[in-house]
Structure 1
Amino acid sequence: MSGLERRNPGELEFHQAVREFAETVMPFVQENRKYKDAQILERMTEPDRIVIFRVAWEDENGNIRANRAWRVKFNNSIGPYKGGMRFDPDLTLSILKFLGFEQVFKNSLTGLPMGGAKGGANFNPKGKSDREVMRFCQSLMTELHRHIGEDTDVPAGDIGVGGREISYLFGQYKRLENRFVGSLTGKGLTFGGSLMRTEATGYGCVYFCENMLNHAGDTLKGKTCVVSGSGNVAIYTAEKATELGAKVVTLSDSSGFVHDPDGIDAEKLAFIKNLKEVARGRISEYADHFRGATFYAGHRPWNVSCEVAFPCATQNELNLEDAKTLIGNGVRAVAEGANMPTELAGAHAFVNCKVLFGPAKAANAGGVAVSGLEQSQNALRLSWTHEDVDTKLKSIMSDIHRKCVKHGQANGYVNYVRGANIAGFIKVADAMLAYGVV
C-alpha cells in the first residue's frame, strides 16, 4: 500500500478500494507462491492504460465550453474491457481508477468474458438542454470511438449517463465507424438494447441479498428495509424487495431522505419513477404527496430501524457511526447497490458483528451481468424475452453467491467481502499467469 500510495498521490478513493481488496486477498496470495512470485497483485493495481482527452462543445448561447474526459482501461485478461461512463462535475481520476479496479473483479465474478474499465467526464448534464447534451456526447465520441469497439472496450451508462446519453453516444459511434455493432450497452430496445437492463442492478442486488438470507436460513419476506438513493438502482431494489414480501420504508437523494412507515408500495414507486424520470423533481415531494411520510433534509436514512439495508446512492455514503447505528438497531443484512458505498471502517464493523454484508463487487454485479447479456444478444443478432434475461440474471447472482460462500465461509459465518475478493481474483490472476509476463 505504501508503494501504491506513493505512485498515486492524493487518490484516496483508489487507495481505499485497493486496501479493502488487498487486506483480504494478501493472505491468500502469501499461501499461493505462484501469485506471489509473479507479483500478480502489484500488477493488478496498475491500469493497462488511461486515455485522457478534451471535449469541446457549444452551449445554447453559442459559448464554447470545454471539459475533460477519461477512459481507464484497467485489465482485459479475461475479455474486452467493460464498464460504465459517468458524467459528474466532481469526477476525478481517483474515482475512475477505484471504479475500474472494482469492475475487474465484479466482472470476473459474473463468469462472463469481460475485463474491467471505467470512464466519464467532468460534465454536468443537469440543467442542460437535450441539444446541449447531444452536442457534448457527439464531441466526446468523436475522440472516444478510436479507443472502443465490441472486441476491445464496451462502455455503458453510469451516474449521469442514462438512455438519452447512450443513444447520442451510440448514434455518433455508428456514424463515425459506419458499423452497427455492440460497441456500447444500455442501448434503447429499438436499436440493440436488452430487456431488463434498467432494472438489472437493483433486481440483482435483491437476488443476492435473498441468497445471503436463504443460506442463513432466513428470507426477505416480512423484513423492514431501508434503501438509500432514488435513481434506477434504488427504485428497482425497492421494487423487487417489495415483490419478495419486504417492506421498504425509505428512499433518498442529495437533499435528504423520506421515511414512510407504511411502506413504499408499487403505487408509490410509480410516483417516484415519474418524479425522477419525467418531472426531474426532488424526493421531498414524496412527503408532500403521501400522508404519513416524513422528509428529513440533509440526512441519510441509516438511523431508521430496519432488518435489511440497501445503500444504493453513491460511494462512502455509510460510515462507521452509521454502521454502528444499523447494528444497534438489529440489522440482519446489508447489500451494497452502489459502488463502495460503505467506508472501510463501516465494512469492518459489519463483518466483526457477523452481519450478512454483501459487498458491491458481488451484490451490484447484476447491471454489468445484463450488459454482458446484451453483448451476447448483439453478437447473435437476436433478442431474449424479459423472462429469459431475468432467469439468467437470477442464475448469475446465485452463482456469484456460491463463489463467495466457497471462499468466504469459516466458523459458521460467510465473510462475503473475503469470498468475493478471492473468487474474483483467482480467475483474473490465473489468466494473467497464463499469458506470461505482460
Structure 2
Amino acid sequence: MSSTFVDSIMATVTARNPAEPEFLQAVKEVVESIEPVIQKRPEMAKLKIVERIVEPERQIMFRVPWVDDQGNVQVNRGFRVQFNSAIGPYKGGLRFHPSVNLGIIKFLGFEQIFKNALTTTPIGGGKGGSDFDPKGKSDMEVMRFCQSFMSELFRHIGPDTDVPAGDIGVGGREIGYMYGQYKKLTNSFTGVLTGKGIPYGGSLARKEATGYGLVYFTTKMLEARNTDWKGKRVVISGSGNVAIYAAEKAMSLGATVVAMSDSNGYVVDEAGIDLNAIKRIKEVERGRIKEYLDVRPKAVYTEGCAGIWTVPCAIALPCATQNELDGNAAATLVKNGCIAVAEGANMPSTPEAVKTFLDAGVSFGPAKAANAGGVATSALEMSQNSMRMAWSFEEVDAKLHTIMNNIYFQCRDASEAYGMKGNLVAGANIAGFLKVAEAMLAQGIV
C-alpha cells in the first residue's frame, strides 16, 4: 500500500493542479506522513478523507481595480481559498506580494488546515491575498487598493465564516484600511479580521506572537537536547514581524543574533544585531536592511539572501519565505555545527533540506507547528472580540506559551505513536490531520 497510496493521491492532485509546485510539495509532505494513519484506519480510505482534504471547499478569484497617485487605473488579482471548515471558520492570512498566485495561496491554505488544528482552537484553514506590491506605494495608494480589495472580499467572509489576518505585505496599516471598508460595507463592528489595532479590537501580544511562539517551540526542542538559548549564536532570515520578535525573545533568553536579512541581502554583526536599529529601519522607516550599516559601520552587508546560511550558528530560524533554505544550505548549516532549525516562515525549507536536517540529527521544527503562534493568538483575539473584552499582554503571552508547549507535545507524541520518534515534521502532520479527519468523519460526506 505504501507507494501505491501516495502515488495515487499525488497523481490525482497533480492532474488537477498543474503548474502549482508549492501546493504539490505541501500535499506530498503531508500525504507521505499520514500514510501510517490510513493503514491503521481503513474507514478513512473508504470515505476518501484524504481525497477530500486536499481539495479546497471553495476557491475565490476576483479583479481588484484601483487608482494610483498619478490618476492611472491599476488592476490586480485577489484570491481567497477557503480550504477546510471541519473544526471552525476558515482562518488564515492575506498576503500582498508580486509572487502571489493561486498555487501559492492553495499551498498556504493547505498548510493552515493542520497548523490551525494543532493550536487546539476551533478554527479551520484558509488563505488569501493579491499580487499587489505595497512596497514603494504611498499610504493613499495602499488605502485605495485595500478598499477595492475588501469591496469584493467582504461578500465571502464573516466572524463565523472566514476570519482573515495579515501575512507578508499585510501589516497593521493594511488591516486597518480593510477593516474600515468592511465596517462601512456591512454596517457592523465584528471580529472579522485579526491583527487589528488595539483601539478597535486588536489583541495585545498579537504583533509579537509568531516570533515569540517560534522561540517557545524551539525552547522545547532545545530542552529535549538538554540545552537552552544561553550563549547560542542565532541566524534569522528575514526582518519582518516574525523575524524581529523571534530575535527579541531569543535575545531575552541569552542568545546572540548575529545575522538578519531582507529580500535584497543580509547583514552580519558579530557583536550582536542591534534590534532597535532593525525595528526603526523596518517598522518605522520601511527601509532596506543595508541601511543598518549607517548605525553599525562594522557590520557586513552582502547582496543576495542565500548566503545567510553560510554564517556559522547553533540555531537557525528561517523567517523569510517559502523554499529559501535548500539542501546545500542545510548541509552547510550542519557542517558549521547547527543543532536546531525552526521555521518561522511557511515552508521555508525544501524537502532536501528537511531530509538533511533529520538525517544529521538536527532538531527540526516544521512551520505548521513552530510558527503557529500567530494564528493561535489570532484565535485568542477572536475570543476577546466575541466576549467584548481585552486581556493583558501577560495573559495573552501566557496562553500563547501554553499553546506552543502543547503543540510541541502533540508533535512529539504523534511521532512516537507512529514509530517516527524525533521526527516532528511527521508528528505535526499526523496530529493535525487526525483532529481534522475525525471532525470530517463525524460530519458525513459534505
TM range (shorter): over 0.9
**Alignment of 1:356 onto 2:357:** no
Match of 2:177, SS state, is: helix
Match of 1:111, SS state, is: coil
What are the Cα deviations for residues 354-378 of structure 1, in whole angstroms up to 9, with x where unaligned?
2110000000000000000000000
What is the distance in 1 between the residues matched to 2:364 and 2:283? 31
Q: How does the TM-score come out when normalised to structure 2?
A: 0.96
Amino acid of the structure 1 residue aligned with 2:286 = R
Q: Which runs of 4+ in 1 moved over 2 A?
A: 409-413
**Alignment of 1:429 onto 2:421:** no
Q: CA deviation at 1:330?
A: 1.2
What residue in structure 2 maps to residue 215 of structure 1? Answer: 224
**Alignment of 1:287 onto 2:299:** no
Q: CA deviation at 1:133?
A: 1.0
Among 17, 21, 27, the alignment partner of 1:8 is: 17
What residue in structure 2 maps to residue 372 of structure 1? Answer: 379
**Alignment of 1:313 onto 2:320:** yes
Among 17, 29, 49, the alignment partner of 2:58 is: 49
What is the distance in 2 between the residues matched to 1:290 and 1:207? 29
Amino acid of the structure 2 residue aligned with 1:371 = S
For 1:324-335, list aligned pairs within 5 A. 324-335=331-342
What is the distance in 2 between the residues matched to 1:404 and 1:362? 8
What residue in structure 2 maps to residue 258 of structure 1? Answer: 267
What residue in structure 1 maps to residue 196 of structure 2? Answer: 187
What is the distance in 2 between the residues matched to 1:351 and 1:166? 38
What residue in structure 2 maps to residue 64 of structure 1? Answer: 73
Among 373, 378, 403, the alignment partner of 1:396 is: 403
What residue in structure 2 maps to residue 24 of structure 1? Answer: 33
What is the distance in 2 between the residues matched to 1:40 and 1:158? 29
Match of 1:272, SS state, is: helix
Equivalenced residues, count = 435
What is the distance in 1 between the residues matched to 2:228 and 2:390? 33
Match of 1:53, SS state, is: strand
**Alignment of 1:384 onto 2:386:** no
Amino acid of the structure 1 residue aligned with 2:368 = K
What residue in structure 1 maps to residue 3 of structure 2? Answer: none
2:265–2:290 Cα contact (<8 Å) kept: yes
Q: For residues 206 and 18 of structure 1, do their structure 2 counterparts lie closer, same or farther at Cα, with a shift above 3 Å needed?
A: same
For 1:400-419, list aligned pairs within 5 A. 400-409=407-416, 413-419=421-427
What is the distance in 1 between the residues matched to 2:38 and 2:357? 24
Match of 1:118, SS state, is: strand
Q: CA deviation at 1:292?
A: 3.0
Amino acid of the structure 2 residue aligned with 1:112 = T
What is the distance in 2 between the residues matched to 1:278 and 1:51? 34
What residue in structure 1 maps to residue 119 of structure 2? Answer: 110
Q: CA deviation at 1:345?
A: 0.9
Match of 2:334, SS state, is: helix
1:14–1:98 Cα contact (<8 Å) kept: yes
Amino acid of the structure 2 residue aligned with 1:79 = G
What is the distance in 1 between the residues matched to 2:240 and 2:186? 32
1:354–1:413 Cα contact (<8 Å) kept: no
Any gaps of 5 or more consecutive residues in structure 2? 1-9
For 1:244-255, list aligned pairs within 5 A. 244-255=253-264
> Could you tell which deviates more after superposition, 269-278 or 378-387?
269-278
Among 336, 347, 358, the alignment partner of 2:354 is: 347
What is the distance in 1 between the residues matched to 2:148 and 2:269? 43
**Alignment of 1:298 onto 2:307:** no
What residue in structure 2 maps to residue 130 of structure 1? Answer: 139
Amino acid of the structure 2 residue aligned with 1:135 = R
Q: CA deviation at 1:263?
A: 1.2
Q: For residues 58 and 412 of structure 1, do their structure 2 counterparts lie closer, same or farther at Cα, with a shift above 3 Å needed?
A: closer
What is the distance in 2 between the residues matched to 1:227 and 1:273? 14
Among 59, 81, 95, the alignment partner of 1:86 is: 95
What are the Cα deviations for residues 221-275 of structure 1, in whole angstroms up to 9, with x where unaligned?
21111110000111111110000111110000111111111112xxx11111110
Q: How does the TM-score come out when normalised to structure 1?
A: 0.98
What are the Cα deviations for residues 16-52 of structure 1, in whole angstroms up to 9, with x where unaligned?
1011111111122122212222111111100000011
What residue in structure 2 maps to residue 157 of structure 1? Answer: 166
Match of 2:82, SS state, is: strand
What are the Cα deviations for residues 68-89 of structure 1, in whole angstroms up to 9, with x where unaligned?
1010000000000000011112
What is the distance in 2 between the residues matched to 1:399 and 1:238? 22
> Could you tell which deviates more after superposition, 30-39 or 169-178?
30-39
1:230–1:252 Cα contact (<8 Å) kept: yes
Q: CA deviation at 1:287?
A: 2.6
1:56–1:139 Cα contact (<8 Å) kept: yes
Amino acid of the structure 2 residue aligned with 1:274 = R
1:225–1:248 Cα contact (<8 Å) kept: yes
Amino acid of the structure 2 residue aligned with 1:254 = S
Match of 2:291, SS state, is: helix
What residue in structure 2 maps to residue 271 of structure 1? Answer: 277
Q: CA deviation at 1:288?
A: 3.5
Q: CA deviation at 1:132?
A: 1.1
What is the distance in 1 between the residues matched to 2:89 and 2:336? 44
Among 135, 149, 156, the alignment partner of 1:147 is: 156
Match of 1:262, SS state, is: coil
What is the distance in 1 between the residues matched to 2:67 and 2:145? 8
Q: CA deviation at 1:299?
A: 3.7
> Could you tell which deviates more after superposition, 387-396 or 21-30?
21-30
Q: CA deviation at 1:413?
A: 4.6
Q: CA deviation at 1:412?
A: 9.4
Any gaps of 5 or more consecutive residues in structure 1? none
Q: For residues 299 and 90 of structure 1, do their structure 2 counterparts lie closer, same or farther at Cα, with a shift above 3 Å needed?
A: closer
Q: For residues 294 and 379 of structure 1, do their structure 2 counterparts lie closer, same or farther at Cα, with a shift above 3 Å needed?
A: same
Amino acid of the structure 1 residue aligned with 2:445 = V
How much identity, in percent, do the aligned residues show? 58
Q: For residues 64 and 412 of structure 1, do their structure 2 counterparts lie closer, same or farther at Cα, with a shift above 3 Å needed?
A: closer
